[in-house]
Amino acid sequence: MARMTIQEMFLKQKEAMRARTKQATSLLREDEMGWRPVPGALSVGEMLRHVWVSEEGVRRAALEGNFAYYEKRIPEGLGAVVGKPRTLTEELESLDRVHAETLSQVAQFPLERWEEERVHEGLGFRRKIAVMLFRINEHEVHHQAQLMTYLRMLGTPVPEPFARR
């Protein structure tokens, strides 16, 4: 039996994480986009936007060495890169678009380059490409769980991760 490569593992994990995110986002309503649990917390819309904007920025840094996202995000904060959320439909379309771009570009990225480091001395940034890519998945899972907590607070029952027997 052939072993799974780190690239295949990333892609498989990314697809699984997105399926669970889609379960949660399918429960959202347009009128919930501005809701936030407390002042200063991300709203539902800001969280959706943050997930795809971050994924796109981190992917570009990892695969292309383009640090534009980090060059703005690190010194200026999250608000500088997230921008204003649009409609629920538009944010979900952007999530899907960026996800598809990530899958395609990562699948084409040479396996032998996954151990290379991306370095930006001005930001004190040094990480392996593989670590950066897997961080995209970790980040989505974090916000997926946060979104499910928001949904519970809004009174929406969320699906259990495992079927009950």
pLDDT tens for each residue of 105-137: 999 999 999 999 999 999 999 999 999 999 999
The count of structural domains within the chain is: 1
- pTM, rounded to two decimals: 0.94
pLDDT tens for each residue of 25-51: 999 999 999 999 999 999 999 999 999
Residue 104 has pLDDT above 70, yes or no: yes
Are 140 and 52 in contact by the 8 Å Cβ rule? The answer is no
H-state helical runs in the chain: 6-25, 44-64, 68-76, 78-82, 88-108, 129-153
Residue 89 domain boundaries:
6-153
Does some domain include residue 85?
yes
The CATH number assigned to the domain holding 112 equals 1.20.120.450
Q: What's the pLDDT at 162? A: 56
Task: Report d(CA 91, CA 48) in Å as an integer.
Answer: 6
| Residue 145 neighbours by CB distance under 10 Å | 12
